[in-house]
Amino acid sequence: MTKKELVLRALKKEKVERVPVGFWFHFLDDPENAAPSKENIQLNIEGHKKFIEAFRPDFVKLMSDGYFYYPNDVIQQIETTDDLKVIQAIDSNHSWFQGQVELIKKQTDQFVEEIAAFYNIFAPATYFKWQLPGGEAQFAELLVKAPELVAQALEVIAEDLVTLVTKILAETTIDGIYLSVQNVQDSRITKETYETVIQPSDLKVLEAANKSGGQNILHICGYEGAKNDLNLYQNYPAAAVNWAVGPEDVSLIEGQKFFDKTVIGGFENSSRGLLYQGSPAKIQVAVEELLKNAGTTGIILGADCTVPSDISLENLEAVRQAAKLFV
């Protein structure tokens, strides 16, 4: 069984010869603000190459570092709710689309064995709030004042992301997308607001990826302690779900029951956690405990989110070796 077969079987909740393991890094220092310059894209490609050769991962989450910027300049000019009315889709021939197709081809050309690959895509709401001059605070204000207009804007962004995911799944060899979603970190934004205004745009992208044949992963982002209502995502049509087990206080076994699909994670991703600070022996004990509780079917061991760039690969390998030894 190749590593790719191993991971795809795990995503389908089929029996595997060992539990697969996956971790991922950013390869630019400030990916949220990095332009798709030749230098940044090359750093992205070289970062993947170095990691793949050094760690020989079971699968890769291909990073979109350099393409976090959604090139819809109108969003950067928004000041009032009326400004939301003029947002239009970008040209389907824009380099933002084909540039990511070419990036993925260069990333995957570096594989040294057959492994599964999933490309990082952010939810429409995430691209939107990152482009707003006032960031997430302004996004929350707009949601409160003009939810219908925000919904229209997110629909436009979702249409562009449908174009993107359809192209990358058709024109590259990746196995799916890794869709990152997150609650708005503002107490005024209720569950009902998320369901009616934001959720349709999430689902539009995920359903397009499913229609294009992807085995897709849903990431509920708890980066830097962000809190999420997991109930919002319980029925999202993804093959697997990854969330922050610590901040959400939901273990892997609880998540298995709640989502009724393959789960990914188990380890804190920050420099405070066992994965970063612990010894291989302590990590092995933690893996054994995780698998005793969650079993070996429908599970992939990993972290809550992106791991620090200076984490020891020996510690990541300790997770894999412990999974191999677990019977």
Percent of the chain with pLDDT over 90: 95
Is residue 179 within 8 Å of residue 216, measured between CB atoms? Answer: yes
**How far is Cα 210 from Cα 199, in angstroms, rounded to an integer?**
16
pLDDT recorded at residue 122: 98
Q: How do residues 58-72 score in pLDDT, each as one tens digit? A: 999 999 999 999 999
* Paired residues of 262 in beta bridges: 240
**How far is Cα 156 from Cα 141, in angstroms, rounded to an integer?**
19
Q: How do residues 247-270 score in pLDDT, each as one tens digit? A: 899 999 999 999 999 999 999 999
pLDDT recorded at residue 32: 83
30 pLDDT band, cuts 50/70/90, is confident
Helices (H) and strands (E) in the chain, counts: 14, 7
pLDDT recorded at residue 33: 82
pLDDT recorded at residue 155: 98
For residue 228, the SS3 value is coil
pLDDT recorded at residue 66: 94
**How far is Cα 167 from Cα 127, in angstroms, rounded to an integer?**
19
DSSP 9-41: HHHTT---SS--B------SSSGGG----HHHH
Q: How do residues 156-195 score in pLDDT, each as one tens digit? A: 999 999 999 999 999 999 999 999 999 999 999 999 999 9
Position with higher pLDDT, 224 vs 118: 118
57 pLDDT band, cuts 50/70/90, is very high
pTM, whole model, 2 decimals? 0.96
Is residue 317 within 8 Å of residue 55, measured between CB atoms? Answer: yes
Residue 224 has pLDDT above 90, yes or no: no
